[in-house]
Amino acid sequence: MKCMDLDNVDRRILEQLQVDASLSNVELAERVNSSAASCWRRVKALEAAGVLGPPVRLLDPVSLARSVNVICNVRMRSHAREARRAFENLVCERKEILECFSMSGDWDYLLRIVAADVADYERFLMSVLLDHPSVGGASSHFALSMTKYTTALPI
């Protein structure tokens, strides 16, 4: 995919929408010092280019009893294509797995998992993750606190 050339107005639009995706087109245009019509065309062009995805609302994990963050390293039993595909299908099906990265180094995957408490995570680990036939091992690390969390990319 080719990178899109962004001018200063495009960059300001992206910065503002990362802070508040609920802005009306008029409010957004005012914040980036542009006309509403020009701002609307730019947003539509950024969407068409795949730079802007759909707007979402971020949820508070504490309010939803999902405040335990676990970083889990996973080692595969086999690196065969079918084993990887089966594991990645499991990852996509499980809502408690928020992020999954295929890794270089000693571990094959890194997962970020949310749970209600340690017992909730243990149930997931023992009955789902470690029971999967492609998983050879896992190492779990519990986050004590969150120093920084952002979804905003540097523009």
pLDDT in tens, 32-50: 999 999 999 999 999 999 9
Average pLDDT (15-23) is 96
Give the per-residue pLDDT at 1: 54
Q: What is the CA radius of gyration of the chain?
A: 20
Give the per-residue pLDDT at 3: 79
* Domains of the chain by residue range: 8-48, 68-142
CATH number of 8-48: 1.10.10.10
CATH number of 68-142: 3.30.70.920
Alpha helices of the chain — where are they, by DSSP H? 8-19, 25-32, 36-48, 81-93, 118-124
